[in-house]
Amino acid sequence: MPKTRDALRYPLYRSKALRLANASTQQWYKNLKHTDAQGTEIDLTHVRFELIDSHALAAYQDWAEDAHFSWDEVATWKGREPMAFDLSLWYDEVLCGLCFANPNQSRLRIKLIRLEGRPGKSHPLKSRIASLTMIAIDHYARIIGSQWIEIQEPAPGAIPLYQNLGFDFDSRGRLVIAVENE
């Protein structure tokens, strides 16, 4: 059972990380104009970082049969893991991605347990889910004092994508990136 202060502290940390991720993305967009594969500019001011809630799970049902993971379990996980970080990534009213990460007990490492972009159909954030999600996870990792972000059991096809984001294998074979504390 989590300590009462932890039950209050970590929801505040999650909320702060999402606010910072939203602000960072807005600043990122202002500094760099982003285009899709066809050269069309993507307006990142429409991106929203939110928790996985009933609205996100309802939107997930539209792509559930093609999804790689079952995200309905997240509500149970959130109840058991008070330090966990969950994320739904939106573009306007389109659910584009879902993520669940959990720090170890010492909080030195936060493990990305599940990350999935909307399968099948093209969506406005196609090929950007991992990089946008890492913004939010990085903010949360800094807030709780983590030193590393680790990808738990990365899909072999996703390893190059993570390596392009700066992840590398450590001496123990874990795919990790250091958290840069300011």
Pure H helices in 32-90? 54-60, 74-80
Helices 4-31 and 129-144 pack at an angle, to 10 degrees, of 130
Alpha carbon 131 to its chain centroid, in Å, reads: 9
pLDDT in the model for residue 74:
85
- The one-digit pLDDT tens for each residue of the chain (182 residues) are 445 566 678 889 999 998 888 788 766 555 555 555 555 667 778 899 999 999 999 999 888 677 778 888 888 888 888 899 999 999 999 999 999 999 988 889 999 999 998 987 678 888 889 999 999 999 999 999 999 999 999 988 999 999 999 999 999 999 999 998 76
What element of type H or E holds 168?
strand 168-169
Torsions phi, psi for 175 (to 5 deg): -85, 110
Write down all domains in the chain, each with its CATH number in brackets.
4-178 (3.40.630.30)
Q: Could you tell me the pTM of the whole model?
A: 0.84
